[in-house]
């Protein structure tokens, strides 16, 4: 007995729809699919990937489109396709299982499960035939099928071992709060991993690791250790001028395949770009590097042009491949550049690393400015901008990479917060409108009648119970918009979502589970403390609760934040690195700079003081802008403070101590630098 058809045509995920015509009888992940596997008594072959994944496309073409391989899969397995972005709960669980087997995780993920979803063996990409030490996929299928038929004891042993390990993913090591001294020790260890030549951490492949860079930047602001500042700036310079940045269209690729940030893995992910926008904005506040302002501007332009869906939300990603080839859309031959630019080509080519032999496949070049990191003079840069405009127009005629246009609540939350902050810093009300539009989309089209978030939306259908990251990222987005607009509705929304998290995600032993208590049950329910390519939900939740405590003065938020810090303190001491978001939250909760501006919202002197605040990097600071006569929470150190005369007045507070009233912008700038 077997499954008789491929049922992915009923799905909304672009990744699943890419596989709807495979001869494999793919099913989507669901309780019904597991029930079917149990009825048939067949193991599950789970394949997890995402629409922009190059190696997912390769394995699909080599194996899943092959009739003989598909026949093997259909005969011996119930075959399940998972979009790791649409079902991050499923993907995370089985990625962890793979790593527990001593293998490196990644996509495509290929896992073999018992009919009730227990993992017993797996890998990532398998070639069609044995090569490079990897067995061929058909060989793997036959071997697993034979094991299932004849070696139940071996499978049961693996299931028991992995099951016990997976159950441990809900366990944390609690302890006393991590001390400031220990945080500095962790900072030292992370700094030692910086590449002092090309920036970033370690060797290729290099990912931005934005949460770690943010942690080092905050440490520089806290300690004044200039080596930390230099490490962050060096990294942002090379990422911004490397081939991982799209110099024609804007936006950053997911990672670099080399140490120099020259050759990217060409897919563009919304979450990477959101985090880089926010960090570049934060560092620009101090460094005033025109390069960072340009990259923020161009990346938001790319998001606006290519990533917005009808209604205002942001799409997930652009593919690495186009016309069946990775990077084809982005690379240029010397002949193409010369034909396009004519007499300008001899100036453009050395500036962007274009040569006859190329720096990429087939003699093509990936445009980059790594040959000279610093920008040229104004006239030269203006001429290069005109050249880029001409090349961009030509590139638009090429076959475009596919767009995964599903909207994810967590990635949109990251994007909304980043754009809202950039809008304030660079005084771009049009950007603020973008952020508000995306927020309204998630808060409308992706919200149930009882106010709960859903994780994914596409084609008019919102689906899947939200994971913790959806709530924490959207809470943070709401607080960013509350600060940017002064509208109390955003603060109320954050508070409401926090209560949903408390009710449906809280572990009775403190901290928060990744999935809701009424979500589809998986073989284990996990708590995630460490950052991945995105900040951990528990880390962001700690920051959100700390900010709510400072804004409202309500001790319940402080107590919940302290409970998270305690729950994961022992885990941080055991494993040291990978917890930047949690550590940033702990520092924010311990002591943060609180700035109060008392004045009419539309007054010129209010705008002047806010301009100063947005011109200084104070990561983690909490800003309250209140009307004259409005009351701050009683617990706020500036409670009872008033205007100085009739002028808008600012107070800069640290701990329980506030500055004298400040009305002059220069005096406010000095006070912020002192803290």
The phi, psi pair for 3, rounded to 5°, reads -75, 135
pLDDT given for residue 64 in this prediction = 98
Average pLDDT, the chain: 96
What's the Cα-to-Cα distance from 34 to each of 31, 114, 115, 371, rounded to whole Å? 5, 9, 6, 54
DSSP class of residue 514 equals S
Please state, in angstroms and rounded to a whole number, the distance separating the CA atoms of residues 560 and 228.
31
- Our CA angle for 172, 176, 180, nearest 5°, is 110
**Domains of the chain with CATH codes:** 8-169 (3.40.30.10), 330-395 (no CATH), 593-674 (3.40.30)
Residues 76-120 have pLDDT tens digits of 999 999 999 999 999 999 999 999 999 999 999 999 999 999 999
Please state, in angstroms and rounded to a whole number, the distance separating the CA atoms of residues 572 and 581.
12
Q: Token match 């100085």: residue?
A: 644
Segment 495-500 long-range contacts (CB within 8 Å, at least 24 positions apart): 495/548, 495/552, 496/451, 497/453, 497/471, 498/471, 498/544, 498/545, 498/548, 498/557, 500/451, 500/452, 500/453, 500/471
Residues 287-318 have pLDDT tens digits of 999 999 999 999 999 999 999 999 999 999 99
Helix (H, G, I), strand (E, B) or coil at 45: strand
Termini Cα distance of the chain: 71
Residues 27-79 have pLDDT tens digits of 999 999 999 999 999 999 999 999 999 999 999 999 999 999 999 999 999 99
Please state, in angstroms and rounded to a whole number, the distance separating the CA atoms of residues 219 and 228.
7
Both structure tokens of 247: 């110099």
* pLDDT value at 675 more than 80: no
Please state, in angstroms and rounded to a whole number, the distance separating the CA atoms of residues 339 and 352.
16
Helix (H, G, I), strand (E, B) or coil at 195: coil
Contacts of 568 (CB under 8 A, 6+ apart): 172, 173, 174, 511, 529, 538, 579, 582
Bridge partners, 134 (sequence order):
131
Residues 592-636 have pLDDT tens digits of 999 999 999 999 999 999 999 999 999 999 999 999 999 999 999
Selection from 206, 255, 404 nearest residue 319 by Cα: 404
Please state, in angstroms and rounded to a whole number, the distance separating the CA atoms of residues 43 and 461.
31
* pLDDT value at 1 more than 60: no
Instruction: Check: CB of residue 315 under 8 Å from CB of residue 405.
Output: yes
Both structure tokens of 8: 């992915």
DSSP class of residue 645 equals T
* pLDDT value at 435 more than 70: yes
pLDDT given for residue 2 in this prediction = 64
CA-CA-CA-CA dihedral for 254, 258, 262, 266, to nearest 10:
-30
pLDDT given for residue 576 in this prediction = 85
* pLDDT value at 587 more than 80: yes
Instruction: Count, in order, helices (H) and strands (E) of the chain.
Output: 24, 18
For CA atoms 181, 183, 184, 188, the dihedral sign is positive
Model confidence band, residue 177 (pLDDT cutoffs 50, 70, 90): confident
Model confidence band, residue 509 (pLDDT cutoffs 50, 70, 90): confident
Residues 183-196 have pLDDT tens digits of 999 999 999 999 99
The phi, psi pair for 305, rounded to 5°, reads -75, -40
Q: Is 343 exposed, middle or buried (0-12, 13-18, 19+ CB in 10 A)?
A: exposed
Overall average pLDDT of the 523-530 stretch: 95
Helix (H, G, I), strand (E, B) or coil at 597: strand
Instruction: Check: CB of residue 479 under 8 Å from CB of residue 502.
Output: no
Please state, in angstroms and rounded to a whole number, the distance separating the CA atoms of residues 249 and 271.
17
Please state, in angstroms and rounded to a whole number, the distance separating the CA atoms of residues 474 and 494.
8
């Amino acid at each position: 007995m077997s499954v008789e058809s491929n049922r992915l045509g009923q799905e909304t995920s672009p990744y699943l729809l890419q596989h709807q015509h495979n001869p494999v009888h793919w099913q989507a992940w669901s309780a019904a699919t597991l029930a079917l596997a149990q009825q048939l008594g067949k193991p599950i072959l789970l394949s997890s990937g995402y629409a922009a994944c190059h190696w997912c496309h390769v394995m699909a073409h080599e194996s899943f489109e092959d009739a003989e391989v598909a026949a093997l899969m259909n005969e011996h397995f119930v075959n399940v396709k998972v979009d790791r972005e649409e079902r991050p709960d499923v993907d995370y669980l089985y990625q962890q299982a793979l790593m527990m087997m001593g293998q490196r995780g990644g996509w495509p993920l290929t896992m073999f499960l018992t009919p009730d979803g227990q993992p017993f063996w797996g890998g990532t990409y398998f070639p069609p035939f044995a090569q490079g030490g990897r067995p061929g996929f058909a060989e793997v299928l036959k071997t697993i099928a034979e094991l299932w038929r004849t070696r139940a004891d071996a499978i049961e042993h693996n299931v028991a071992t992995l099951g016990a390990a997976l159950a441990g993913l809900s366990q944390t090591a609690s302890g006393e709060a991590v001390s400031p001294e220990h945080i500095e020790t962790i900072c030292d260890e992370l700094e030692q991993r910086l590449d002092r030549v090309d920036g970033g951490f370690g060797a290729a492949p290099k990912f931005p690791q934005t949460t770690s860079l943010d942690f080092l930047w905050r440490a520089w602001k806290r300690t004044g250790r200039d080596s930390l500042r230099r490490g962050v700036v060096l990294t942002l310079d090379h990422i911004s001028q490397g081939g991982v940045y799209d110099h024609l269209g804007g936006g950053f690729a997911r990672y670099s395949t080399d140490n120099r940030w020259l050759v990217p893995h060409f897919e563009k992910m919304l979450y990477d770009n959101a985090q880089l926008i926010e960090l570049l904005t934060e560092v620009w506040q101090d460094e005033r590097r025109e390069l960072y302002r340009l990259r923020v501007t161009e990346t938001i332009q790319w998001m606006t042009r290519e990533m917005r869906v009808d209604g205002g939300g942001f799409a997930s990603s652009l593919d690495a491949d186009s016309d069946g080839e990775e990077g084809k859309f982005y690379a240029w031959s010397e002949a193409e550049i010369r034909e396009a630019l004519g007499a300008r080509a001899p100036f453009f080519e050395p500036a962007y690393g274009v040569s006859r032999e190329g720096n990429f496949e087939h003699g093509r070049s990936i445009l980059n400015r790594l040959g000279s990191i610093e920008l040229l003079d104004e006239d030269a840069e203006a001429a290069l901008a005109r050249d880029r405009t001409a090349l961009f127009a030509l590139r638009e005629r090429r076959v475009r990479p596919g767009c995964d246009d599903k909207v994810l609540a967590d990635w949109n939350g990251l994007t909304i917060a980043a754009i809202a902050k950039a809008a304030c810093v660079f005084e771009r009300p049009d950007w603020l409108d973008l952020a508000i539009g995306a927020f309204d989309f998630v808060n409308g089209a992706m919200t149930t009648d009882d106010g709960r978030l859903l994780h994914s939306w596409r084609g008019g259908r919102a689906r899947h119970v939200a994971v913790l990251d959806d709530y924490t990222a959207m809470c943070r987005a709401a607080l960013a918009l509350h600060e940017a607009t002064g509208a109390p509705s955003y603060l109320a929304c954050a508070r409401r979502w926090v209560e949903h998290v408390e009710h449906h995600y809280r572990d009775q032993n403190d901290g928060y589970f990744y999935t809701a208590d009424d979500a589809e049950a998986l073989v284990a329910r996990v708590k995630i403390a460490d950052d991945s390519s995105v900040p951990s939900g528990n880390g962001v939740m700690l920051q959100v609760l700390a900010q709510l405590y400072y804004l409202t003065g309500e001790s319940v938020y402080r107590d919940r934040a302290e409970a998270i810090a305690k729950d994961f303190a022992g885990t941080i001491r055991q494993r040291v690195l990978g917890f930047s978001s949690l550590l940033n939250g702990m520092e924010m909760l311990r002591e943060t700079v609180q700035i109060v501006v008392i004045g009419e919202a539309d007054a010129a002197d209010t705008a002047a003081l806010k301009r100063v605040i947005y011109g200084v990097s104070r990561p983690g600071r909490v800003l309250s802008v209140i009307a004259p006569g409005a009351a701050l929470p009683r617990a706020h150190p500036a409670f009872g403070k008033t205007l100085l005369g009739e002028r808008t007045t600012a107070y800069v507070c640290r701990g329980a101590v506030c500055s004298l009233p400040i009305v002059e912008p220069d005096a406010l700038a000095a006070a912020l630098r002192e803290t």
